[in-house]
């Protein structure tokens, strides 16, 4: 056994917590008794529950992305469904080293297994909240004309989901200083995810014939500024049938 | 304690043991060497990212210069810190002050290294250097300053915990701590200014040191070239 694996972990549960049978049960447990996920992370056992949560989260992000893609409709539904999990995965990958170091320095040393389970729980919590907010996102995606409004709506949904994810993280780390470390890390994670979204743009709106990935490097605030400058399309007269996709917005000007 | 994983383990998970050794004055030379061995690669890694916007030689220069800023600042402040500690009744040997200082710097460097992927991604996804990219330069400058400043503060917070553990009863502990941090910040600012560029100017060629590196200090620059113009139109 390596030194890392033999390191004593705080608050080891007295009895083994049974593993969930499938992804639905894993998410049900995360929703109703999230402390069990954190406690199981500190037990010996398989990594299957964490992998179930991660795989289920990726599916949930894809579904949320597909709903977000309804703003444009057509093939963008598929494109958004592919890009949404990519945004979360890339943001997590970039921020995991700092989460590990922040938590260790705050006094919550975690070996690989608990870290994997807690990160999976964080991703699962994000997924749960996004699925919970999905009907609202759907309503605004299919009824809004302003890209700027929809971008802010998704940003708000993302912040709400991340806040609940951070709450799970802070409780799972089980130390007094964890709240501060997690709050700082959450800010970092939010900033990185906004920049990743800009890097992988367009996610919500793509004009016909435009490429799947826009070239040109840009800071996310600059991107947001350009979206704000885009005009809101005028409403079609009531007598005309509704178009299958949104009226063409001018493309985001490239720098 | 010669390998990096063992050093990182000590710094991340066994700081209490490190502090106990420090308080007892045990293995101080080995501790100090170990902390330097953490500091140099971690700060160097962040330096690679910091100089990576311009790329090329600046990447190498900054990978070398960022650890250098920390080492030079420590060398310049250590004696003063030792004197202040002694005068304020901390009863620490010079080697103990050295280990404490490098303990905070090693923690800050480790945090910086953990932020390197994030800083790298921002560098990668922002427009490349050109005379039109002044806004991007300023943005990156702000981002790196924030990261370095925040990691420095976190390092000093860890230093405070260490001081409390080994000299918790000393009446002037807080004064000594603030004196150390303030001195390091003031001197560190000037050392970094003298060793610029780090992000790299969009108007000037890449160079290891500016020709005017030692002509004027950062505080003169702030008080004569920045503050008087804050409330003027030009």
Instruction: Reply yes or no on whether the pLDDT at A146 is more than 90.
Output: no
C-alpha A143/C-alpha A74 separation (Å) is 15
CB pairs under 8 A between A and B: 63
Q: Out of B125, B126, B158, name the one closest to residue A105 (CB).
A: B158
Q: Out of B12, B122, B126, name the one closest to residue A105 (CB).
A: B12
C-alpha B98/C-alpha B101 separation (Å) is 5
How many Cα atoms within 13 Å fall on the side-chain side of residue B190? 16
Torsion sign over Cα A167, A172, A174, A175: negative
Average pLDDT over residues A11-27: 77
| Residue B224 or residue B70, greater confidence | B70
C-alpha A15/C-alpha A82 separation (Å) is 40
Please state whether the predicted TM-score (pTM) of the whole model is above 0.90.
Answer: no
pLDDT tens digits, one per residue of B79-103: 888 988 888 888 899 999 999 999 9
Helix axes A76-105 and B4-13, enclosed angle (nearest 10) = 80
CB A169 within 8 A of CB A178: yes
Hey, are the CB atoms on B12 and A97 less than 8 Å from each other? no
Average pLDDT over residues B60-74: 94
Hey, are the CB atoms on A93 and B115 less than 8 Å from each other? no
Q: Out of A7, A94, A105, name the one closest to residue B121 (CB).
A: A94
Nearest CA to A109 among A166, A173, A43? A173
pLDDT at A60: 95
Instruction: Reply yes or no on whether the pLDDT at B162 is more than 60.
Output: yes
pLDDT at A6: 40
Residues of B near A (CB-CB distance < 8 A)?
A: 9, 12-13, 107, 110-111, 113-118, 121-122, 124-128, 135-136, 139, 150, 154, 158
Q: Out of A7, A192, A199, name the one closest to residue B118 (CB).
A: A192
| Residues present in chain B in total | 234
pLDDT tens digits, one per residue of B179-204: 999 988 888 888 898 898 888 888 88
Alpha-carbon distance B8 to nearest alpha carbon in chain A (angstroms): 10
Q: Mean pLDDT: which of A6-10, B31-35, B43-47, B227-231 is highest?
A: B43-47
CB B18 within 8 A of CB B31: yes
- Give the model's confidence band at A247: pLDDT under 50 very low, under 70 low, under 90 confident, else very high: low
Instruction: Reply yes or no on whether the pLDDT at A249 is more than 70.
Output: no
C-alpha B210/C-alpha A243 separation (Å) is 61
pLDDT at A255: 42
Nearest CA to A163 among A140, A135, A182? A182
Tell me if chain B has a CB within 8 Å of the CB of A172.
no
pLDDT tens digits, one per residue of B98-122: 999 999 999 999 999 999 999 999 9
Instruction: Give the DSSP letter string of B183-227.
Output: HHHHHHHHHHHHT--SS--SSS---SS-TTTTSS-HHHIIIIIIH
Instruction: Give the DSSP letter string of B15-58.
Output: HHHHHHHHHHT-SHHHHHHHHHHHHHHHHHHHHHHHTTTT-THH
A132 burial (CB, 10 Å; 0-12 / 13-18 / 19+) is: middle
| Residue A80 or residue B227, greater confidence | A80
Residues of A in contact with B114 (CB under 8 A): 97-98, 100-102
Hey, are the CB atoms on B110 and A101 less than 8 Å from each other? yes
Alpha-carbon distance A185 to nearest alpha carbon in chain B (angstroms): 10
pLDDT at B168: 80
The position carrying tokens 């290294």 is: B113
- Give the model's confidence band at A62: pLDDT under 50 very low, under 70 low, under 90 confident, else very high: very high
Residues of A in contact with B154 (CB under 8 A): 105
Q: Out of B107, B110, B125, name the one closest to residue A217 (CB).
A: B125
Average pLDDT over residues A36-57: 87
| Cα→Cα distances B156→A61, B151, B181, B183, Å | 39, 9, 7, 12
C-alpha A16/C-alpha A14 separation (Å) is 7
Alpha-carbon distance B1 to nearest alpha carbon in chain A (angstroms): 14
CB B208 within 8 A of CB B68: no
B159 burial (CB, 10 Å; 0-12 / 13-18 / 19+) is: buried
Instruction: Give the DSSP letter string of A31-67.
Output: HH-HHHHHHHHTSSS-SHHHHHHHHHHHHHHHHHHHH
- Give the model's confidence band at A142: pLDDT under 50 very low, under 70 low, under 90 confident, else very high: confident
Average pLDDT over residues A42-53: 86
Helix (H/G/I), strand (E/B), else coil: A234: coil
C-alpha A83/C-alpha A211 separation (Å) is 14
Tell me if chain B has a CB within 8 Å of the CB of A97.
yes
Average the pLDDT over each of A17-31, A68-82, A115-129, B54-68 and give the range with the smallest value. A17-31
Q: Out of B118, B124, B125, name the one closest to residue A188 (CB).
A: B118
pLDDT at A2: 42
Instruction: State chain A's mean pLDDT as an integer.
Output: 82
Percent of chain A beyond pLDDT 90?
A: 34
């Amino acid at each position: 056994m390596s030194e890392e694996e033999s390191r004593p972990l705080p608050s080891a549960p007295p009895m083994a917590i049974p593993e969930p049978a499938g992804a639905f049960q894993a998410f049900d447990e995360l929703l109703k008794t999230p402390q069990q996920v954190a406690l199981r992370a500190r037990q010996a056992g398989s990594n299957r529950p964490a992998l179930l949560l991660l795989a289920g989260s990726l599916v949930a992000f894809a579904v949320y992305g597909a709903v977000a893609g309804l703003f444009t409709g057509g093939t963008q539904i598929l494109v958004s469904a592919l890009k949404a999990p990519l945004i979360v995965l890339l943001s997590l990958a970039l921020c995991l080293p700092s989460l590990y170091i922040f938590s260790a320095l705050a006094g919550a040393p975690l070996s690989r297994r608990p870290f994997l389970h807690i990160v999976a729980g964080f991703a699962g919590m994000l997924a749960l909240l996004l699925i919970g907010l999905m009907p609202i996102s759907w309503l605004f995606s299919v009824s809004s004309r302003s890209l700027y409004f929809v971008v802010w709506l998704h940003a708000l949904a993302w912040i709400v989901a991340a806040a609940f994810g951070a709450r799970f993280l802070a409780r799972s780390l089980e130390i007094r200083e964890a709240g501060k470390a997690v709050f700082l890390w959450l800010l970092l994670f939010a900033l990185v995810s906004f920049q990743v979204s800009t890097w992988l743009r367009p996610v919500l709106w793509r004009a016909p014939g435009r490429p799947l990935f826009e070239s040109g490097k840009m800071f996310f605030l600059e991107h947001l500024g350009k979206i704000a400058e885009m005009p809101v399309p005028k409403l079609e007269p009531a007598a005309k049938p509704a178009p299958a996709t949104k009226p063409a917005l001018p493309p985001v000007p490239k720098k | 304690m010669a390998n990096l994983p063992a050093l990182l383990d000590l710094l991340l998970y066994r700081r209490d043991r490190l502090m106990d050794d420090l308080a007892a004055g045990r293995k101080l030379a080995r501790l100090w060497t170990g902390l330097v061995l953490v500091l140099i690669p971690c700060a160097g890694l962040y330096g690679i990212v910091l100089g990576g916007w311009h790329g090329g030689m600046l990447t190498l220069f900054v990978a070398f210069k960022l650890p250098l800023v920390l080492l030079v600042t420590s060398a310049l402040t250590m004696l003063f810190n030792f004197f202040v500690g002694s005068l304020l009744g901390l009863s620490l040997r010079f080697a103990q002050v050295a280990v404490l200082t490098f303990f905070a710097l090693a923690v800050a460097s480790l945090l910086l290294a953990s932020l390197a992927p994030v800083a790298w991604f921002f560098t990668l996804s922002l427009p490349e250097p050109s005379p039109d990219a002044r806004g991007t330069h300023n943005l990156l400058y702000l981002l790196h300053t924030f990261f370095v400043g925040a990691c420095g503060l976190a390092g000093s917070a860890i230093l405070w915990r260490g001081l409390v553990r080994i000299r918790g009863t000393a009446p002037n502990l807080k004064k000594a701590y603030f004196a150390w941090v303030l001195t390091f910040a003031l001197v560190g600012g000037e050392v970094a200014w003298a060793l610029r560029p780090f992000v790299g100017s969009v108007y000037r060629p890449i160079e290891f040191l500016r020709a005017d590196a030692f002509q004027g200090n950062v505080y003169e620059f702030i008080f004569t070239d920045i503050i008087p113009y804050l409330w003027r139109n030009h």
